Amino acid sequence: MDLPFDTVLSASSSFLKKFRTRNQHDQRLLSRQYSYQRDLLDDSSNDIRICLVRSKLNVRNQPTRLFAVKVFVHPQKNRFRLYTRRVTAEFCIAHTLQHPNVVRVIELLHNDHGDLCQVMEYCDAGSLLDLLTQVNHLTHDEADCFFKQLLHAVQYIHSVGVAHRNLKPENILLTKQGTLKITDFCYAECFRLPWAAPLKRSFQERSIQHRELKGTIAYMAPEQFTKAAFDPAAGDMWAIGIIYFAMRSGRLPWKRATEEDAFYRQYLADLENGRVNKYMDFVSTQTHRHVLYSILQPSPRYRFTATQVLDSDWIRETKLCAAASGSMQST
C-alpha cells in the first residue's frame, strides 16, 4: 500500500516533536552552525536551491567540513502547511537511510528567511549527469563499477521498504574517489514497513495504488503510464536499466516507454522476435545482454530485482574501484 505523508511522519514523531520545539524557541538556525560558501544549484522553477556551506564547528583542530544544503523556499502562507509536511516527509525518509551509496542526510534546520534547509554530505565530483555531459559515455569498466554501486544502493533502500521513484543521472552524485551515491528523495515512498517481511511481487502489485505520475518521463517504466496498480520498486529497477544504457551509449533509448514511441515500439518487436535491438550494440556479451533485457523487462512481474542482478555472473565479476570497495566493506 502507498503510505501517505502522515504515516511517514508518525513513524518519526519523536524527531518531529523535538524539531517543532526547537523552532518555537528559535534555538537552531542554519547560520549559527554553517557559513555559506557558494550556490551549487538554483532551480527557481521548483523553488529549490542547493548551496555549499562550511561547518563552524572545529573538532580537535581538524579543518572544518563542507556540506551541501538543500533549501526549500517556502511558499505563500495558505500552502505553508502542505510545504512543511512534504519537506519533513522527505527528510524523515532520507535521514533514516544509512548506506555508503546513499547521500547521508544529517539534519533539518531553518535559515534566516524561514526556509527549511536539509543539511547533507557533500559529494565533490558533481553528478553523473555532469560527468556524462563532459565525456558523452563511459567505458565498459567505468559504467559497470558505477552500476554495481547503484545496484547496492537500490537493493538497500528496497530492503527497508523505500522506493526512490526518480532515479536518473541528475540524482546520482559522485566523489573524487569514485564512490557513487543516490540523492533527492522528494518523490520517495514507503511501500512497506522496514521490519515487515517483503511481499511477493504479485501481491505487492495489487497492494500498491498510484494515481499520479511521479519521476522523469524518460526513466519511467511502462506500467507507470497506465492506471493499473504497480510495484514502485520494479519501477526503480527499470530506471537503473535506462541509466546504464545512458552511461554506455551517451543517450537515452526512447523518450517514453509507451507504444506511441517508435523507438520503444521497435524494442518491443525485437524482444518478441528474439532479435538484438540495434541500439544495444554496446552490450558486449550475451550474458550481459540477458541481464540488461531482464532489467528492461516490460512486465514488472518478471523484471529482475536488484538482488537478482547483483547475483548475476556479470555483476559478481565486476570489480569496484578502491574507494567504492572500501566503503562497501565498512558496512
Query: Can you list the domains of the chain with their CATH numbers?
Result: 5-121 (3.30.200.20), 128-329 (1.10.510.10)
The pLDDT value recorded for residue 140 is 92
Cell numbers representing residue 143 in the block: 559504467
State the Cα angle at 89 between 102 and 148, rounded to 5°: 20
Q: Tell me which of 242 and 326 has the higher pLDDT.
A: 242
pLDDT at 41: 84
The pLDDT score that the predictor gives to residue 323 is: 54
Note the pLDDT tens digit of each residue in 223-279. Answer: 999 988 889 999 999 999 999 999 999 999 999 999 999 999 999 999 999 888 888
DSSP category for residue 129? H
pLDDT band at 282 (very low <50, low <70, confident <90, very high): confident
Residue 60 has pLDDT above 80, yes or no: no
- Which amino acid type is present at position 134? Q
DSSP three-state, residue 230: coil
Question: Which segments of the chain does DSSP mark as H helices, in order?
Answer: 5-11, 13-25, 30-33, 80-96, 128-135, 140-159, 201-207, 232-249, 262-273, 286-295, 306-310, 313-316, 322-329
256's CB contacts (< 8 A; 6+ apart) are: 217, 218, 220, 225, 264
pLDDT class of 207 with cuts at 50, 70, 90: very low
* Cβ contact 268:298 at 8 Å: yes
